[in-house]
Structure 1
Amino acid sequence: MQYDAKNAEEYLELLEDDWRKEKLLAIRQMIFAYAPEFDEVIRYKMLNYGKDDHYVFALNAQKHYVSLYVGTIDKIENAETLLTGYNYGKGCIRVKKSIKIEETGLEQFIYTTVDMWRRGEDTDC
């Protein structure tokens, strides 16, 4: 889904108060907890997180899942194990209603990705 929001606050206000908003806010909190230096902006009608025009993550509520976009997932060491239970493609992790985020390796995946970015390693597609 696309949201015509000018900033993150407006984007969050446009979301319905349902499980998708709950999951999106949980992932957003994971990103900010580990990378408080990241800016949160709207690009391509979704939330983006990064610094100095280099965005590491994008986050969006779809109709049947929440999408966490990250460069190429296979660049993250141990990604298959960390993302067990998720449906994911080359650069998109789909978080469905049945997923209990806190019982998965998603937080560690986010931390590993941020650490790579901090070291100047390639996290792009």
Structure 2
Amino acid sequence: MQYEASDPQDYLRQLDDDWRRQGLLALRELILASDPEIKECVHYKMLGYTLDDDFICHLNAQKQYVSLYVGDAAKIDPDGALLNGLSVGKGCIRFSKSKAKHISEGGIEAFLKRAVEMKRAGTDLGC
């Protein structure tokens, strides 16, 4: 889905109050907690997250899932251990209603921290 939002708060106000909102908010907290210098904006009609003016990831609430766009997920988690059991495309991790519980299980937090470390080290994540 696309949201015509002027800033992150406007984006959040437009979300339906359902499991997708809760999942997106949980992911948002993990992203912002992964580094104190991460800035949040609206980019490509999604929530965007930058570090030193370079995008790390994007979040969006779709009809059937919440999407975490990360560039090339295999660069961040080459053996797939952190994202095991999730629906992972080349650049997108999809959290359906039944998989939303995985947000708080630790793998996503470790995945995001690794993405920040790699970005700080100058690795191109494909974002």
RMSD value, Cα: 1.3
Kept in 1: contact 2:77–2:83 (CA 8 A): no
1:62 aligned partner, one-letter code: Q
Listed as ranges, the gaps of 5+ residues in structure 2 are none
- Note the C-alpha offset of 1:29: 0.3
Unaligned runs of 5+ in 1: none
Structure 2 partner of 1:109: 111
The alignment of Structure 1 onto Structure 2 pairs a total of residues equal to 125
Aligned 1:1-125 pairs, distance under 5 A: 1-99=1-99, 100=101, 101-103=103-105, 105-125=107-127
**Segments of 4+ moved more than 6 angstroms:** none
Cα offsets for 1:29-57 (capped at 9, x unmatched): 00111122111111110000013431010
SS state at 1:110 partner: helix
Q: TM-score, normalised by structure 2?
A: 0.92
Is 2:41–2:48's contact at 8 Å kept on the other side of the alignment?
yes
Structure 1 residue 77, shift from structure 2 partner: 3.7
C-alpha distance in structure 2 between counterparts of 1:38 and 1:32, whole Å: 6
SS state at 1:13 partner: helix
Looking at structure 1, the residues matched to 77 and 60 of structure 2 have their Cα atoms a distance apart, in angstroms, of 24
Percent identity (aligned): 51
